[in-house]
Structure 1
């Protein structure tokens, strides 16, 4: 189906992003922990960096970077010049991302987070 995405000019990882958006439940992070789920095809929950870290794993790379939305800190996945954001309905090219300001030089590393969890959600419904 990648040929169809190319024909329709869909962004890279379009289908995966749509699946992730459909299965993601936003939950405010009170303890600043990072969660990375095993699957975007099952329900997963968390905040912006949990969404971005889970996409990073699903997409096989990219950088989770700092962004500012309405002067509030935010995390997005930046991969191959595309921004994948839990606040947006579709991915945007970095130059076209209007939800906020992305700072590609400020990377968030999953293994450097003070508290982090790897969660296998593939058995959940």
Structure 2
């Protein structure tokens, strides 16, 4: 009985991690979120702020982040029409995760250099 319970908990935990990775998969979503922490950006500004990202990947990543509730897209009427992207309140739920990833990344770099 105990083994079955442990197995169910393990599977539940694995599914939760897989769900998290599915939402944040790829190398661009977290850099986009981190960049948007400085405030709203237009598409071109955002593209210039993230080295190496292509317009196609930026567009897809922004759509995914918007669909998952992390990014808000705002169309500003005028001539020309402008589109600004900003973080939602829900994106704050990632703050501790981003901090932990940054801290681990710094620790890992140090570990690799010291080898």
TM-score category, normalised to shorter length: under 0.3
Higher strand share: 1
TM-score normalised to the size of structure 2? 0.27
Which of the two has higher C-alpha Rg? 2
* TM score, norm. by length of structure 1: 0.26
Indicate the structure whose relative CO is greater, using CA pairs within 8 Å and at least 6 residues apart.
1
